[in-house]
Amino acid sequence: MRKLKIFYGMLLFASVLLLSACQTEPQLIETPQEERIRVAVLVAEGFHDGEAYMPIGYLVNQGFDVTVIGPERGTVKAYNSDFTITIEQGIDEVLATDFQALVLPGGRGPAVLRENDEVINFVSEFWQTGRVTAAICHGPQVLISANLMEGRTSTGIDGIKDEIEEAGAEFVDESVVIDGNLITSRVPDDLYDFSQAIAEELKQQVGLTLLMKQ
């Protein structure tokens, strides 16, 4: 866990430098610990390094609590680099209601995730909460296997365009597509828009929660 936090910190610093070179630097949200919003990033062996770590870094910098979940605890490797990530909690250790957002990075990990019945059940249960579900690149494949895409508007990597449409969704070739609780993006070049969209939707949730408490 300590190694993971150190790595997150190093990655976060690098991410902020990269993002600030082309975008306005995000501002840190100061939120009391008991009111913090929890985000789950769902990965498996073969995940895409940037599509997992960049949203993690951005969301942590925005003040959200991020937990990496997967089929089981352990370390998995990215398909496109020597980067690894530690799955902090297995899918059997968490509940859909534990989190306010679910992020599905792309790469080859979604092909592994979509074959796991426990994962599909968790994703389906999370979807029913109506909370933010975000997928990039091949990430929508998990939602397709959970039969959640019919009637939706989505994007993704061009290679799964036909699969998205066959699942009953409208494919849109844009950097980020928001359809209700669903946020989708295409490729690593879209990561800033993707991460920002997730954060903005979560900020709205924070505002609504505070409003309901008044």
Instruction: Report the catalytic residues.
Output: 138
Q: Phi and psi for 80 in degrees, rounded to 5?
A: -105, 5
The single-letter DSSP state of residue 79 is S
The CA distance from 12 to 119, in Å, is 28
The CA distance from 21 to 117, in Å, is 42
The CA distance from 65 to 99, in Å, is 9
146 three-class SS: coil
- Tracing tokens 């929660």 back to the chain, one arrives at 209
For the record, the structure tokens of 154 come out as: 């989505």
The CA distance from 121 to 118, in Å, is 5
Angle at 57 between CA 123 and CA 4, to 5 degrees: 85
Asked if residue 172 lies in contact with residue 140, where contact means CB atoms within 8 angstroms, the answer is no
